Structure 1
Amino acid sequence: MFEEEDDIPDSRNLPIFKKGMEIAELVRALVDLIPEDNEILQEVGVWMMNDAHNLAVKVSGAEAGDLYDIKMECAAIIRRSARELVVQTHSLEMHGFEETQYFQLLRDAVEEYRLLFIDWIETFDPWNYIIDRWGLFNPPGVGPHDQDPDDLY
């Protein structure tokens, strides 16, 4: 498919990937402020780091996957991870984290990411698919019980 290695798309150049990496750095800085002796806050910090890394890793997975259902599955994980990051700030606060003045920076970054996400998913080709027999990530108009068009020939 690709003639040379230079022809392979690099997800690291996408604005959504770059914003995901920026959010991961922001979350790392926030997590570094968690007191080491607070196990509950440390655990929330681990969850936050996992979710933050999903924002870039799953973009790469979607871009490498190429098929519509793979891209949509990665997009769903990204959406959940981004939303969880905001929810987890409430968990931090609820369990006594004192550096809450940084939360708005994270919320603003996630909102910027959300807007990039909307543009990014518009680039997915709904006609490059295999039927998702689980029924979650089919393009519009395709159902899990439909006959595979490749089986018609």
Structure 2
Amino acid sequence: MWDDFDDEPDFEEDGEFDYRKEQERIFKHPLMKKSKEIIGLTRALVGSLDEARRELYGNIMMEDAAIMSAKFSAAENIPDYITKMENAVLMKLHAKSLNSMTYQLALEETHAEEHLELLRVAIEDFRKLFLSWITTFDSDKKSDDGWGMFMD
């Protein structure tokens, strides 16, 4: 059981976990880079909303964008399949919510369609990266958390 860690590159020779190396690996991942891009695009859109719409939509949109990157980081930091899947589901839900908000803003004619399309394209790119990423999950590495989800 413990010899599984012998091949882990994030552990130094003395058995200490290298947090900086792990953090660097996560921040360099294409999915994290794309999520940071989405945060920037969302911030720009929210920043250009009038006060009423910013109050109505701004927090939701920024929360959606931020959770996408936070849940990716959480999923990448743990080998457990169930936890990875839970975080992946939340990432998907928030990406879909943020994408839906672009159509609400379009209906209200708050932005030029080109600006909203930039965020939609970034979310679509995120989705494609996400699909590749979830194939890397090892379903053999799971422990029953008592809730019965993703247990096969």
Both proteins in one fold, TM over 0.5? yes
Task: Give the TM-score taking structure 2 as reference length.
Answer: 0.81
Cα shift at 1:121: 0.5
Letter in 2 for 1:25: G
Shift in CA distance, 41/75, structure 1 to aligned 2, threshold 3 Å: same
C-alpha root-mean-square deviation of aligned residues, in Å? 1.8
Contact 1:62/1:71 (<8 A) preserved:
yes
Contact 1:33/1:99 (<8 A) preserved:
no
Query: Which residue among 28, 36, 39 is the counterpart of 1:24?
Result: 39
Indicate the structure with greater helix content.
2
Mapped to 1, the partners of 2:146 and 2:91 lie a distance apart of: 22
Query: Which residue among 81, 105, 116 is the counterpart of 1:68?
Result: 81
Q: Kindly, what percent of the aligned residue pairs are identical?
A: 36
Mapped to 2, the partners of 1:80 and 1:13 lie a distance apart of: 23
Query: Which residue among 113, 116, 138 is the counterpart of 1:103?
Result: 116
Residue of structure 2 in register with 1:148 after alignment: none
Task: Tell me if 1:11 matches 2:34.
Answer: no
Query: Which residue among 86, 93, 112 is the counterpart of 2:99?
Result: 86
Letter in 1 for 2:44: A
Task: Give the TM-score taking structure 1 as reference length.
Answer: 0.80
Gaps of 5+ in 1: 142-153
Q: Deviations over 1:63-103 (max 9, x none)?
A: 11221011000000000000001111223234452444311
Gaps of 5+ in 2: 6-10
Mapped to 1, the partners of 2:31 and 2:119 lie a distance apart of: 15
Cα shift at 1:41: 4.1
Residue of structure 2 in register with 1:44 after alignment: 57
Residue of structure 2 in register with 1:33 after alignment: 48
Query: Which residue among 115, 121, 126 is the counterpart of 2:139?
Result: 126
Cα shift at 1:7: 5.4
